[in-house]
A and B are shown apart, each in its own frame.
Chain A
Amino acid sequence: MAKKSKSRLTANMKNITEVTSVISHQLKTPLAGIKSALEVLLSGDLGSLNKDQQEYVTLALSSAAKMIGLVKNLLDASRIDEKRMQLTLTKADFGKIVERVIGDLESFARAKNSQIITRIESNLPVLSIDETKIQEVVNNLVFNAIRYTRGKGSIVVAVSKKGGNLLFSCADNGIGMTPSEQKNIFKKFYRSPRVVELATEGSGLGLFISRAIIRQSGGKVWFESKQNQGTTFYFTLPIKPIQ
């Protein structure tokens, strides 16, 4: 009996994954249309916009970009479930990827009254990784560190060589995690009520996708956290290319 319901549950989960994948794909075409139309308007091709119109179109474009990001995350999550995620490996300077992400997030950190301290070892070896996906992981972790810190935040991002791996860490003095949150943090769509209170936006897919990317890249992800004291996320990436 239990076996039967388990297999039914597995079949239902498979259906949900397939439906999510199909719907996400179907959403991409109208989203590409919305994005393109707004870009044309903003470019002034159809006549110049006044300041207010420009502001509204820019806001609409930014919402469209968020929706595209969400659809991509849903597609990535489906691909992970179906073991179809693909990595595009190229030679990349991991330190530069981290610096780029921090550069992009610095103004967000300032707006949240936080500072980012970077400690990247020099002469790090070049890695064979999926640059876009690894950048997405670093962005997720640093973005979360900024987002889930109350008051004056201090975020320390470090990269060093440890044996046959590069070790990345991102430490914050934010809200930390309760034991129950720690158990669920890598689950798909999980967002704790404390997190929702701090930031309503978010799909709960970022860490699920990030862990899958690092694992598929041959590395490991883990964290240390104390409620109301902060969290440090770590991941490794092998220096030797994955087979």
Chain B
Amino acid sequence: MSTPEQQEPKHKILLIEDDKFLIKLYSDKLTREGFEVSMAITGEEGLSKVKSEKPELILLDVILPQKNGFDILSALKLDSTTKSIPVVMLTNLGQESDVKTGLELGAVDYLVKTDFSITRLPEVVRKHIALHTKKGK
């Protein structure tokens, strides 16, 4: 039997989302699946937490107070210390032009909240962390 010390370290995820109910739903789901989740509810707080906490993956909403998700994504991709962190957009803006903007700015995936099932969230997060790790080797 493995002791907690022997267990693999938990993957660190940063959730940048301003809706309290969705924050609870997404963070609880990922925590139950063994991820370590930290949260930010504004764009500025999100950017600052990316730098201080160095997450392995960021889940990013678009419509946020202070700075929108696309501006945050641009800032992350311009910074050499954060540009390689995979960012998955998790938003309700689902027009083709929004998806295109997100992917062109460097997001690895674009999920529309009302179309996407939360039950698939851990699987998507795992996939992108694995792809990123593989790319880094």
Would B22 and A36 count as touching, CB distance under 8 A?
yes
Does B5 belong to the interface (CB within 8 Å)? no
Would B119 and A39 count as touching, CB distance under 8 A?
yes
Interface string of B8-49 (1 = CB under 8 A from A): 000000000001011001101100100000000000000000
Would A36 and B118 count as touching, CB distance under 8 A?
yes
Known: A28-B114, A43-B119, A45-B32. A33 touches B92 (CB 8 A): no
The number of A-B residue pairs with CB atoms under 8 Å apart is 48
State the CA gap A87–B100 with chains docked (Å): 12
Task: Give the shortest distance, in Å, between A180 (CB) and chain B (any CB).
Answer: 36
21 contacts between A and B (CB under 8 A): A28-B92, A28-B114, A29-B19, A29-B113, A32-B92, A32-B113, A32-B114, A33-B19, A36-B25, A36-B117, A37-B21, A37-B25, A39-B117, A39-B118, A40-B119, A43-B119, A45-B29, A71-B114, A72-B114, A86-B95, A86-B97
Q: Which of B22, B96, B118, B119 has the most CB of A within 10 A?
A: B118
Known: A29-B19, A30-B21, A43-B119. A35 touches B114 (CB 8 A): yes
Taking CB atoms, residues of chain B closer than 8 Å to A36 are: 22, 25-26, 113, 117-118
Residues of B within 8 A of A (CB): 19, 21-22, 25-26, 28-29, 32, 92, 95-97, 113-114, 117-119
Q: Is the interface of A mostly helix, strand, loop or mixed?
A: helix
Would A40 and B114 count as touching, CB distance under 8 A?
no
Known: A40-B29, A68-B114. A33 touches B119 (CB 8 A): no
Interface residues on A, range: 20 to 34
Residue of A nearest to B29 (CB): A40
State the CA gap A95–B4 with chains docked (Å): 55
State the CA gap A86–B25 with chains docked (Å): 31
